[in-house]
Amino acid sequence: MNKFLLGLFLFLLPCVAVATTADSVWMAQNYTKKEVYIKMRDGVRLFTAIYAPNDKSKKHPILMNRTPYSIAPYGENAFKRYWNTHYLQYFKRGYIIVLQDVRGRYMSEGQFVDVRPFVPNNDRVTTDEATDTYDTIDWLVNNVKGNNKKVGIFGISYPGFYATMGALCGHPALKAASPQAPVTEWFIGDDFHHNGAFMEMDAFSFYSSFGKPRPIPTQKGLPGFQYFTKDNYKFYLSIPTLKDMAAIMGDSIKFWQDLYAHPNYDKWWQQRNTRNFVQYIPNTVATLVVGGLFDAEDCFGAWNLYKAIEEKASNNNKLVMGPWSHGGWARTKGEYLGNVRFGLNNSKWYQENVEIPFFEYYLEGTGSAATISEASIFFSGANQWRKFDTWPAAGTQNTHMYLHADGGLTPKVSTGFGENDFNRYTSDPQKPVPYTEDVHFGRTAEYMSDDQRFASRRPDVLVYQTDTLKDELTLGGPLVADLFTAINTTDADFVVKLIDVFPDNFAYDTTIFGNGNGKNYPMDGYQMLVRGEVMRGRYRNSFETPEAFEPEEVTEVKYTLPDVAHVFKKGHRIMVQVQSSWFPLVDRNPQQFVDIYTCSKKDFIPCDIKIFCSKDHPSGIILPVLH
């Protein structure tokens, strides 16, 4: 599911004006909805819906969500179907719920700017998302009757970005912010680029609808591109270059033009990296960062926003990472993803033990923040929640596992010295390695835990694995891929995947894990993707200043993958796969040092790639082993 549609699913929950269930009847009887325009400091008005309790016996906290995905349904008699979600609990507690179309989107006035940069040391005249949040809060606490002058802000995905920006606003009434699956860094690891590689499928499917200009306030979204096939591999392979894709997209979508105009990590991108500004979060604002271990869009953002706040700010900051895809804690039970099962109702556990108590404490003054651990992390494999005082956890030890030319993966460096101690494959841009086995239209969420047996059978994918583990191995923290390579062209991508190989006799105990997705997939010998990430080779030394490879010269490519929290059980194996395409998840590298956004079809050429496994060039992966 693309980011735009998922955003609509999460934040445009279907709406009805007539109550049809006990909870919907309760909401209609106990809440009143008002729609107002709130004026910002520059005169632009933002459309805002306020759900206020009829109870006047006490003061109520305000919990707000700012979104570019529309706050529909519009109309004061049309209620969002919150009674079908855990957000009903906030209504039951009497919260004032505020939803706002951000500047330039749907019914709000002004010009929309994607990931609008924060303005440090603001002159109080220049506007950004922090000032828009400040002005909104100021209006609310002074104009909404019965509020207790305490405000919280939250959001999932793009609204997670607005929650981060809101945390920076400095309004004294803002007490808590929860960026969830937050858009954090669109060049290094979130959504549309990973380590400089362009995530073309997500970007095209999202911006072909979301990016279209909206000339006047409207209650309706705009249609996306009309595909000629439901096979995404076929569709993107039919577009020879990104220059051709730009022609298909047209010239009306400004951010698409910005993507092409800034191929490297320049100041323009750096101004849109929220981690550069979290030091401005006041110590009076508590933060709760939430993410999914298997989030295909913003896994990087959740892990690394938390770490940046820990490093730069002095506020109370918490982290939750569970067994979810993008936003799964708000729309699924978190019991499985694709073929992999996790057991329990993990979303309910999080809602009842972390999120709701977090807002209760900071907005109502009830309970205790001490009940919420610094880091609440779910470990797949073991399928258990664990609590930590720091993340990465104390006692984590970086452990090298080295690749061997015979396909082995061990903690010992190969004893070979010769120039022939390597593995070779050819990366062909006309036959790129698919990111998943099946034929799909939209990008799947399940690929984050998919079976990798299909890839291990391709000649352009290298496979390394351990012997059967005699003891379980727990990983908690970021992975580091460290490859020594020689290529016969001037650029290439490198995709490294960490995989859990299940035993040949493996089957889930359905009395514990249920039926999962009900498809009865053969799990014996399953190769579960635990973490995979791409590195565009030209950025191996600097994202700001790309460098060509010298053909046939041994070169180190070392990069960090997002954190993992996984237990390799006794009887399993650890596998590493190395490849140079991941299509159409990632755009094809022409494998020459040219501008990929403007190059021609003739620039795409095959590349012979060697991965060295010798004592003097010891390729491997560095695992964060938790003792």
Q: Which helix (H) or strand (E) holds 4?
A: helix 3-11
Domain ranges of the chain: 3-185+272-388, 396-626
Domains 3-185+272-388 and 396-626 fall in the same CATH topology: no
In the chain, the percentage of residues whose pLDDT exceeds 90 is 89
Confidence of residue 515 (pLDDT cuts 50, 70, 90): confident
The per-residue pLDDT for 525 is 97
The sign of the CA dihedral 519, 525, 531, 533 is negative
Nearest to 290 by CA among 261, 331, 253, 318: 318
The per-residue pLDDT for 260 is 96
3-state secondary structure of 55: coil
Instruction: End-to-end CA distance of the chain: give it in Å, rounded.
Output: 37
Residue keyed to tokens 């399940």: 446
Helix (H), strand (E), coil (C) string for 241-265: CHHHHHHHHCCCCHHHHHHHHCCCC
| CATH no. for 396-626 | 2.60.120.260
- Per the prediction, the chain carries an average pLDDT of 94
The per-residue pLDDT for 17 is 38
The per-residue pLDDT for 6 is 52
What are the CA-CA distances from residue 38 to residues 48, 98, 100, 134, 501 (Å)? Answer: 7, 12, 9, 11, 55
The per-residue pLDDT for 11 is 45
Residue 9: is its pLDDT beyond 60? no
Pairing assessment for the beta strands 147-156 and 193-194 based on DSSP bridges: unpaired
Residue 530: is its pLDDT beyond 90? yes
The answer to whether 179 touches 287, Cβ cutoff 8 Å, is: yes
The per-residue pLDDT for 418 is 57
Q: Which alpha helices (DSSP H) does 156-292 contain, by range?
A: 158-167, 200-210, 232-237, 242-249, 254-261, 267-270
The per-residue pLDDT for 182 is 98
Confidence of residue 368 (pLDDT cuts 50, 70, 90): confident
The per-residue pLDDT for 7 is 54
Alpha-carbon distance of 482 to 401, in angstroms, equals 10
The per-residue pLDDT for 417 is 56
Q: What is the pLDDT of residues 389-436, one digit of tens each?
A: 999 999 999 999 999 999 999 999 988 655 679 999 999 999 999 999
The answer to whether 483 touches 372, Cβ cutoff 8 Å, is: no
What are the CA-CA distances from residue 580 to residues 530, 592, 606 (Å)? Answer: 18, 13, 11
Residue 63 phi, psi (nearest 5): -125, 120
The answer to whether 256 touches 249, Cβ cutoff 8 Å, is: yes
Stretch 147-163: mean pLDDT: 98
Q: Which two tokens stand for residue 76?
A: 């004061």
What pTM does this model have?
0.95
Q: What is the pLDDT of residues 213-233, one digit of tens each?
A: 988 999 999 888 999 999 999
Confidence of residue 18 (pLDDT cuts 50, 70, 90): very low
Stretch 578-598: mean pLDDT: 98
Q: What is the pLDDT of residues 189-206, one digit of tens each?
A: 999 999 999 999 999 999
Confidence of residue 567 (pLDDT cuts 50, 70, 90): very high
The per-residue pLDDT for 22 is 76
Confidence of residue 12 (pLDDT cuts 50, 70, 90): very low
Residue 277: is its pLDDT beyond 60? yes
3-state secondary structure of 390: coil
Q: What is the pLDDT of residues 32-72, one digit of tens each?
A: 999 999 999 999 999 999 999 999 999 999 999 999 999 99
* CATH number for domain 3-185+272-388, candidates 3.60.9.10, 3.40.50.1820, 1.10.10.10, 3.40.50.300: 3.40.50.1820
Alpha-carbon distance of 159 to 468, in angstroms, equals 44
Q: Which two tokens stand for residue 489?
A: 């062209």
The per-residue pLDDT for 419 is 63
- Amino acid in the structure at residue 278: V
Residue 8: is its pLDDT beyond 60? no
Q: At what angle do helices 254-261 and 200-210 cross, to 10 degrees?
A: 150
The answer to whether 169 touches 130, Cβ cutoff 8 Å, is: yes
In the chain, the percentage of residues whose pLDDT exceeds 70 is 96
Residue 10: is its pLDDT beyond 60? no
Q: What is the pLDDT of residues 453-495, one digit of tens each?
A: 999 999 999 999 999 999 999 999 999 999 999 999 999 999 9
Residue 370: is its pLDDT beyond 90? no
How many other CB atoms sit within 10 Å of the CB of residue 611?
21
What are the CA-CA distances from residue 429 to residues 223, 484, 485, 605 (Å)? Answer: 31, 22, 19, 7
Alpha-carbon distance of 82 to 22, in angstroms, equals 12
Alpha-carbon distance of 39 to 340, in angstroms, equals 48
Residue keyed to tokens 């109080």: 124
Neighbour-count burial of 520, counting CB atoms closer than 10 A to its CB (0-12 exposed, 13-18 middle, 19+ buried) = exposed
Confidence of residue 23 (pLDDT cuts 50, 70, 90): confident
Stretch 2-15: mean pLDDT: 48
The answer to whether 533 touches 488, Cβ cutoff 8 Å, is: no
The answer to whether 49 touches 99, Cβ cutoff 8 Å, is: yes
Confidence of residue 451 (pLDDT cuts 50, 70, 90): very high
The per-residue pLDDT for 286 is 98
